[in-house]
Every structure is written in structure tokens, then in C-alpha cells.
């Protein structure tokens, strides 16, 4: 069989002293960290779209990366070659999961019937490869944003025919996910938003988006899908305003429509940046609402207002992310999907290898550092002490629901000198630096 990544055989852990660009410096898959192997803490996944499809096009220029897999022209031949290349890549890197959109794995046909048969042919091929390699599906999704038929949205389209088309696509994408044993199904509202309120019935659009999700849950459960549905929040791009703005907005939506039992959140770092939040903020909101599900690991550029989907290299951010994952009890059905792409100028297959090695090493280091933060204990202890006033006296009464405005007024009349404590942010930042950099 043709080899697409001849520059590597199995990528191994060589430790932080290694200068081998094709070796892991921190990611040691089988190393036991607090009771389980690193690979189970991290559950890395390959994104089919960025890794095997994206050609580096941007609004100002055409593709820079050859994704013809050796000059193939027939879209189904290319689809099969992507399966070969993807499984070769994952096997060599030791990545045990992948994620896909229907449109990434199989080309659209002239009719929907043709699209469907293309999809199922490739799904069967993927299934064989999964059996041979033991690689698993993390989540599937449907691309209901690329085609012109979704120019006004999919579930939120003003056009019921577009809604119906999206439903048909989602039905097949869920079936494919179930068939491949995926434990997650993602809704990223690609064009579920608006450009101007002058032409938008927001109430109907949101009701319809919820209707589509309800149909997906009902259908998924009816064919035996026991995993999690996810919404992936993002505030803007491609629409000016995306309805799934951020974690808090999505939680309000899910609760309003009674979808919160079936849906969790897939938090993406760059989307948090676009919403004006930190990655860890979005993860915390998900965790404290029992909605933490999965992660799209990447990074954005804080100086830009769009989604750059860069590979994550910031250990500080990865540490704070992994702290949240640990606090949430670790991944169950979810994992860490590299929803990230190499830069337009990094156009060779070798660059994809460097990118994944760097992302995997970053999160491996983040995992180790997060456990060091916990073991060190200074930060957790500080937070505990900061709220100590709620463990006794009037604070305990407030926390346990025994206080009222009257009882608190009575208390203040007798104790009106409030003593304050410092938040010690600068000190805590030095503690974190000390743990990260020694
Ligand atoms: C887009 C994005 C998507 C979703 C899946 O910003 O993150 O790739 O992850 O549709
Ligand atoms: Co994403």
C-alpha cells in the first residue's frame, strides 16, 4: 500500500532531552499518571477535515497544499486515499481516535441519493480500517454550512427546504456515527446565526434549531446511540452573530428547550478567545453545570478577531485546561480533538507531523503540570481559605439557606465593621510560574 508519511515510522517518546523532531518529548502514551496511562487522560483525536482535506486556501488565495494523494482526480478515489493516509498517520502517531464531518469523508454526489451511497461506501471502508487498527471514532457530525443551500442557515434557515436537507444529512451522519461506534455527535452551528436582525425572525429560528436537535436526539436514541450529543459554542464567524455564542448562552438554550439531559458541550479554545473568554473560563462554565463533554484543542491569535485554528503550543493554557478536565473527573465519552490546521505556508505532509507532535507534547506537559498544581496544593488551599467565611456563623447560614434580608440586617446592625482580605492574584501567579518553570 502507498505510504503517505514515509518520513516517520512509529513516533516514540524519547524524553525532553531528545532533539529528534520526530519524537515525543513529553507524551509517553503508556506512562501511568495518577492511576491511568497518559493516553487515557488525554484521548487525542485527529480531525479529518483539517488534517486530510484542508488545502490552505484563504479569502485571498487558493490552496497551497496538495491533497490529491498522488495526483488522483476521482473524488471517491481521493476519499479512499484519505482513509488510507489518515489511518497510516494515526497509527504512526499513536492517535487512537478521530472525528469527521460527513462531507470530509465522502464527496457530495449529483443527487442526495448519490451522496448517501458515497457516504456509506466510505463508512464501510473506514469500518474495516478501524477493525484492523483498533482506532476508534470520538465523534461525528454533519457539515451543514458549506453548501449554498445553507447560505441562510440549516436548522435556522428561513427556507424549510434547507431545514429538511440538513435533517436528511444529520440522519445519515448520526447513523454513520452509530455504525462506527462513536460516543459523541456534535452540533457546531456553522451558519446558525444571523447577519442582520432586519431580515431575521430570531424566535422562529431558535425554536427551529431546537426542533432539529430534538429530532436528532429522538432518532439517535431510537437507533441505539447512547453517547453524548454536543453543542460546540462559537460567538461569531461565519455569521456575524452565532446563536451558540458561548457556554453560558448554550446552557440557557438547552434548558429552555429541555435538551440539557442529552447535550453536553464541546469546548474549543479558539472559540473561547473569540467570545472574549479564556479557554479555562468556558471549561469551568461547562464543568460547574455538569455539561463538560469534549474539547476541540487548538489556539487562536489574541491579536486577531477570527478563528485561526492553530495547533496549541501554549503550556500555560494547556495546564489550566487540563486542571479543569481533572476537576470535571476526566473525559468519559469525550476527548481532545485537534481541531487545528497547519499554516498556509507549512504545506508539506511533514508539517502535519510536526504540528501533531507539538500539540500532543503540549497537552502531555499540561497534564503533568496540572497534577503538579494539585499536588503542590497552594492554589487550592488559597481558594479554600478565601471562602472560609461561608463555613461558619453567618456565612454558613447564608450557604445553607437559613438567612434572610431581615436576619442579615439584624446581624449587620450588631456587626457593621467588615474586615476584608486580599485576593493575592500576583502571589498566585508566581506560584503557577514556579510550578511551570521550576
Ligand atoms: C469551526 C469548528 C468546526 C467544528 C465541527 O470553527 O470548530 O470544525 O469543530 O463542525
Ligand atoms: Co471545532
User: 232: Cβ below 6 Å to ligand 1?
Assistant: yes
pLDDT digits (tens, 9 = 90+) for 232-284: 999 999 999 999 999 999 999 999 999 999 999 999 999 999 999 999 999 99
Pairing of the two strands 23-24 and 136-141: unpaired
Report CA(339)–ligand 1 centroid distance (Å): 7
Q: Phi and psi dihedrals of 427, rounded to 5?
A: -60, -45
Query: Are the beta carbons of 22 and 10 closer than 8 angstroms?
Result: no
Could you tell me if the CB of 102 is within 6 A of ligand 1?
Answer: no
Ligand 1 within 6 A of CB of 280: no
| Atom of ligand 1 lying closest to residue 49 CA | 8
Report how far residue 101's alpha carbon sits from residue 123's, in angstroms, rounded to the nearest whole number. 12
pLDDT at 1: 82
Task: State if residue 191 touches ligand 1 by the CB under 6 angstroms criterion.
Answer: no
The residues pairing with 231 across neighbouring beta strands, listed in sequence order, are 187, 265
Which of 98, 99, 138, 188 is the pocket-test mutation for ligand 1 (most atoms within 8 Å of CB)? 188
Measured distance between the N- and C-terminal CA atoms of the chain, rounded to whole angstroms: 47
pTM tops 0.95? yes
C-alpha cell at 294: 469534549
- Give the chain's residues under pLDDT 70: none
Task: Determine how β-strand 228-231 pairs with β-strand 32-33.
Answer: unpaired
- Nearest ligand (C-alpha, residue 146): 1
**Which residues form the catalytic set?**
101, 104
Cβ(282) to ligand 1 under 6 A? no
CA atoms within 13 A on the CB side of 149: 15
Amino acid at each position: 500500500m502507498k505510504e503517505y508519511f514515509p518520513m516517520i515510522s512509529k513516533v516514540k517518546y524519547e524524553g525532553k532531552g531528545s532533539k529528534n523532531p520526530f519524537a515525543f518529548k513529553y507524551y509517553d502514551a503508556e506512562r501511568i499518571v495518577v492511576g491511568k496511562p497518559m493516553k487515557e487522560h488525554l484521548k487525542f483525536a485527529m480531525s479529518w477535515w483539517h488534517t486530510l482535506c484542508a488545502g490552505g486556501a484563504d479569502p485571498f488565495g487558493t490552496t497551497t497544499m496538495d491533497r490529491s494523494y498522488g495526483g488522483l482526480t476521482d473524488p471517491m478515489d481521493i476519499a479512499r486515499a484519505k482513509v488510507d493516509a489518515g489511518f497510516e498517520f494515526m497509527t504512526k502517531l499513536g492517535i487512537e481516535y478521530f472525528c469527521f464531518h460527513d462531507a470530509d469523508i465522502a464527496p457530495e454526489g449529483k443527487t442526495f441519493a448519490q451522496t448517501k451511497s458515497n457516504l456509506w461506501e466510505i463508512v464501510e471502508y473506514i469500518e474495516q480500517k478501524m477493525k484492523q487498527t483498533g482506532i476508534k471514532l470520538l465523534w461525528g457530525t454533519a457539515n451543514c454550512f458549506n453548501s449554498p443551500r445553507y447560505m441562510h442557515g440549516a436548522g435556522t434557515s428561513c427556507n424549510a427546504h434547507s431545514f429538511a436537507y440538513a435533517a436528511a444529512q444529520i440522519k445519515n451522519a448520526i447513523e454513520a456515527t452509530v455504525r462506527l461506534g462513536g460516543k459523541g455527535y456534535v452540533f457546531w452551528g456553522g451558519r446558525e446565526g444571523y447577519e442582520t436582525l432586519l431580515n431575521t425572525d430570531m424566535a422562529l429560528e431558535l425554536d427551529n434549531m431546537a426542533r432539529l436537535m430534538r429530532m436528532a436526539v429522538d432518532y439517535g436514541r431510537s437507533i441505539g446511540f447512547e453517547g453524548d450529543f454536543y453543542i460546540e459554542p462559537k460567538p461569531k464567524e461565519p455569521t456575524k452573530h452565532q446563536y451558540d455564542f458561548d457556554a453560558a448562552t448554550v446552557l440557557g438554550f438547552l434548558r429552555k428547550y429541555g435538551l440539557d439531559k442529552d447535550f453536553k458541550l464541546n469546548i474549543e479554545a479558539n472559540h473561547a478567545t473569540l467570545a472574549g473568554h479564556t479557554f479555562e473560563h468556558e471549561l469551568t462554565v461547562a464543568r460547574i453545570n455538569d455539561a463538560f463533554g469534549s474539547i476541540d484543542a487548538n489556539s487562536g491569535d489574541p491579536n486577531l478577531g477570527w478563528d485561526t485554528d492553530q495547533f496549541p503550543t501554549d503550556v500555560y493554557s494547556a495546564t489550566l485546561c487540563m486542571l479543569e478536565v481533572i476537576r470535571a473527573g476526566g473525559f468519559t465519552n469525550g476527548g481532545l480533538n485537534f481541531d487545528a490546521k497547519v499554516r498556509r505556508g507549512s504545506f508539506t505532509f511533514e508539517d502535519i507531523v510536526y504540528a501533531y507532535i507539538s500539540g500532543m507534547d503540549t497537552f502531555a506537559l499540561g497534564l503533568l503540570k496540572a497534577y503538579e498544581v494539585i499536588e503542590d496544593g497552594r492554589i487550592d488551599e488559597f481558594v479554600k481559605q478565601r471562602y472560609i467565611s461561608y463555613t461558619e456563623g453567618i456565612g454558613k447560614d447564608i450557604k445553607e439557606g437559613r438567612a434572610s434580608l431581615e436576619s442579615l440586617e439584624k446581624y449587620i446592625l450588631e456587626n457593621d465593621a467588615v474586615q476584608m482580605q486580599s485576593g493575592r492574584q500576583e502571589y498566585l501567579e508566581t506560584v503557577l510560574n514556579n510550578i511551570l518553570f521550576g
